[in-house]
């Protein structure tokens, strides 16, 4: 490890953790707002996006400073460069939470066309993946990374189930179409959050082992 870089890496971890916690909170709050018809919660999610963007910029600047002044090598360099990519993934998770909040605002005052249990389950799966992926990244836990990648299929299956139910409802009554379409967008946003968690898990494997697993998975 490069002399004097320990504190820089510790600060980088803290910034990434802070941004991840905020993105997790935004996702939880967006689904809470949908389920409970809480417009205030949804508005808070939209406002929090500015804080995510601020931390995002801080991380970018911090990484540039470390690389310019400390010239990290080997494992340190893998962690630092992966942090930039993970930073992007977390920012996209926050963006999808904002999308969920904005679509939810359009339907919370309309008649509920379905129960939201499956959407909540999908959110729980995506958030479990996100937290496991972050643990894998910070602790260099390859087994946790593998578990996250395996869980992605569960989220995809849940999304497909929700889509089928919404299509049936749309055929049953044309008055349901607008709400069904927005719920489809919400399910897709949750699927994208799970995809970003998978990306973080793949980067965690790279940090721990130096192995790039993304393209291997795409070929399988």
Would you say the pTM of this structure is higher than 0.85?
A: yes
Assign 219 a pLDDT band (cuts: 50, 70, 90).
very low
- Tell me the average pLDDT across 12-38: 97
Quickly state the pLDDT bin for 218 (edges 50, 70, 90): very low
Residue range 138-162: mean pLDDT, rounded? 96
* 220 pLDDT tier (thresholds 50, 70, 90): very low
* Segment 70-90, tens digit of pLDDT: 888 877 888 998 999 999 999
Q: Two tokens at 188?
A: 């897709």
pLDDT at 213 (0 to 100): 67
Which pLDDT value is given to residue 214? Answer: 62
- The domains of the chain, with CATH numbers, are 6-219 (1.20.58.220)
Name which of 165, 166, 132 is nearest 151 in CA terms: 132
* Residue 193 pLDDT > 70: yes
Q: Is the pLDDT of residue 166 over 50?
A: yes
Q: Furthest-apart CA pair in the chain: how many Å?
A: 67
Question: 205 phi and psi, to 5 degrees?
Answer: -65, -40
Q: Tokens representing 53?
A: 């963007």
Q: Which positions ≥6 away from 158 have C-beta within 8 Å?
A: 118, 121, 122, 125
Question: What integer is the mean pLDDT of 165-169?
Answer: 96
Burial class (CB in 10 A: 0-12, 13-18, 19+), 154: middle
Residue 161 tokens read as 């189930």
Residue 63 sits at φ, ψ, to 5 deg, of -65, -45
Instruction: Report residue 177 as tokens.
Output: 């179409």
């Amino acid at each position: 490890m490069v002399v004097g870089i320990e504190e820089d890496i510790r600060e980088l971890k803290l910034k990434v953790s802070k941004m991840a916690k905020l993105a997790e909170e935004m996702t939880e709050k967006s689904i809470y707002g949908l389920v409970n018809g809480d417009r205030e919660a949804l508005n808070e999610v939209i406002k929090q996006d500015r804080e995510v963007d601020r931390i995002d910029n801080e991380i970018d600047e911090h990484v540039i400073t470390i690389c310019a002044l400390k010239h990290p090598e080997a494992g340190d360099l893998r962690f630092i460069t992966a942090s930039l990519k993970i930073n992007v993934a977390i920012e996209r998770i926050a963006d999808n939470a904002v999308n969920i909040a904005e679509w939810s605002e359009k339907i919370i005052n309309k008649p509920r066309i379905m129960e939201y249990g499956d959407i909540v389950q999908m959110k729980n799966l995506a958030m479990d993946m996100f937290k496991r992926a972050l643990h894998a990244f910070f602790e260099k836990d390859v087994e946790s990374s593998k578990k996250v990648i395996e869980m992605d299929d569960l989220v995809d299956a849940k999304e497909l189930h929700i889509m089928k139910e919404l299509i049936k409802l749309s055929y049953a009554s044309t008055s349901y179409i607008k709400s069904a379409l927005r719920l489809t967008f919400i399910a897709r946003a949750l699927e994208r959050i799970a995809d970003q968690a998978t990306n973080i898990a793949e980067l965690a494997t790279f940090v721990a082992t130096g192995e790039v697993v993304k393209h291997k998975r795409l070929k399988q």
